[in-house]
Amino acid sequence: MPDLPPPTYRATGRRVVQIEAEAVAALAGRIDGRFDAACALLLSCSGRIIVTGMGKSGHIAGKIAATLASTGSPAFFVHPGEASHGDLGMITAADVVLALSNSGETDELLTILPLIKRLGVPLIAMTGSPASTLAQQADVHLDTAVREEACPLGLAPTSSTTTCLVMGDALAVALLDARGFSREDFALSHPGGSLGRRLLLHVRDVMHCGSEVPVVQEDARIRDAVLQMTTKKLVGMTAVVDRQQRVTGIFTDGDLRRLLEKGGDIHETAIGDVMTRPGARIGAETLAAEALRIMETRKINALLVVDGEQRLLGALNMHDLLRARIL
C-alpha cells in the first residue's frame, strides 16, 4: 500500500465531504409535492412501514426503519432477498412499503414488486433514476439522484447512500412533527437511554423513604442527629420535623462541621438552633432531572421530599441520582 503524505489524505477527505455536502444540498429542491404525498401515505398507514433495500441501500433502509420506529412511526426492515423466500408474509395490506435502490433496477426488489402490487400495498420508491422500473411502478417516487459518487472510481455507494439517509431522516422528522411527537413520547421508546431516564424517572422512583430516612424532632440534641446520620442508609444529613411531621429544616454534615469549628457542644445544643431553615425541598412527582438541576444550582448534595402540606415523604442525595444514571 502506498505511503501517502498526510496532506493527500486531508485533500481526499475534504473532497469527499464537499461532494457529499453538495449532494445533500441538492435534495432541498426536491422536497416538493411528491414528498408531501409520501408523508401523507406514511401518516395514514394503519399497519407498519416496511423499509427494504439490498446491499448498502439495505443498510440505509435499516437505519431509516429504526429512526421511523423511534420517532412515532412503527416500522421495520425486510430484506428483499429473504422476502422471496417467506419473509414477504411479514407484509400485510395495511402496510406501506418504502423501497430503496439507487439504480431502481435491483433484481431482488423487482422480484417482489408484483407481489407488493397484488397485495395493494402503497409503494414509495427512493431511487436515483426517475425512469427506472421501481420508480415508474411506485405510487410515489422520491428522487435521490446525485451528480457523482464521492468514490473516485464512481463505484462505491457514497453520495447516493448519504442522500437516501438524509431523505429518510426528512420523512421521519416530518412525520414526527405531524404526529405532535413529544420528548416524553421519545423517552418512552428509549427507556434505557440517558434521555429516557431523564424524562421518565421521578423523584419518587429514586428517593429513600420510611425507616431509611434520618429524621429527628426540632427539639432533639445534636448527638441524636449524628446518631441518625450515621445509622441510616441516607448519610450526610437528617431531616428535622415538628410534631405533625412537617419539615422545619435540614441538618447536614456541613452544619455539624461548622458547629464543631465554633466549639459547640453536641450533647447540649438543640438541633433547632443550628439547622438550616427551611431546607431545600422537592415534590415526589418532580422529575429526577429537576432534582439534579436544583442540587447543581444551589451547590447542595441532598433534598428533602415533601407533600403539599410539607410533611416528610423521603429524601435523596447526589449518590441516588448517580446510581439512577441521571447525571
> How many other CB atoms are found less than 10 A from the CB of residue 2?
4
CA distance 204 to 287: 9
Q: Tell how many helices (H) and how many strands (E) occur in the chain.
A: 14, 12
pLDDT tens profile 25-48: 999 999 999 999 999 999 999 999
Outline where DSSP puts E strands in 175-294: 208-209, 215-217, 237-241, 247-252, 281-283
Q: What is the mean pLDDT of the chain?
A: 84
- pLDDT for 16 equals 93
pLDDT of 168 reads 96
pLDDT in tens, the chain (327 residues): 566 666 688 888 999 999 999 999 999 999 999 999 999 999 999 999 999 999 999 999 999 999 998 888 889 999 998 877 767 778 889 999 999 999 999 999 999 999 898 889 999 999 999 999 999 999 999 999 999 998 888 768 899 999 999 999 999 999 988 887 666 656 555 555 555 555 667 878 877 877 888 888 888 888 888 888 777 766 677 888 888 888 888 888 777 888 888 877 777 777 877 777 887 778 888 787 788 888 888 888 788 888 888 888 888 877 777 776 666
Query: Which pLDDT does position 224 carry in this prediction?
Result: 82
- For residue 293, the SS3 value is helix
Question: Coil, helix or strand for 91?
Answer: coil
Q: At 8, is the secondary structure helix, strand, or coil?
A: helix
Which residues fall within 8 angstroms of residue 129, CB to CB, at 6 or more apart?
102, 103, 104, 105, 135, 145
Which residue carries 429473504 as its cell?
Answer: 82
**Integer CA distances (angstroms), 82 to 65, 85, 90, 121, 132, in order:** 17, 5, 11, 18, 23
Architecture, CATH, for domain 203-323: Roll (3.10)
What architecture does CATH give domain 6-181? 3-Layer(aba) Sandwich (3.40)
Domain boundaries defined on the chain: 6-181, 203-323
pLDDT digits (tens, 9 = 90+) for 230-278: 777 666 778 888 888 888 888 887 778 888 888 777 777 778 777 778 8
- pLDDT at position 3, please? 67
The pLDDT assigned to 304 comes to 84
pLDDT of the residue at 288: 78
Residue 284 · residue 207 · CB < 8 Å: yes
Q: 75-77 and 49-53 as β-strands: parallel, antiparallel, unpaired? A: parallel
Residue 135 · residue 33 · CB < 8 Å: no
Angstrom distances, CA of residue 70 to CA of 37, 57, 176, 190: 22, 20, 10, 8
The whole-number pLDDT of residue 205 equals 81
Q: Is the alpha carbon torsion for 20, 23, 28, 30 positive or negative?
A: negative
Using alpha carbons only, give the angle 231, 232, 235 rounded to the nearest 5 degrees: 100
Task: Give the closest residue to 130 by CA, choosing from 111, 116, 119, 145.
Answer: 145
Grid cell at residue 218: 426540632
Condensed to tens digits (0 to 9), the pLDDT of residues 93-113 reads 999 999 999 999 999 999 999
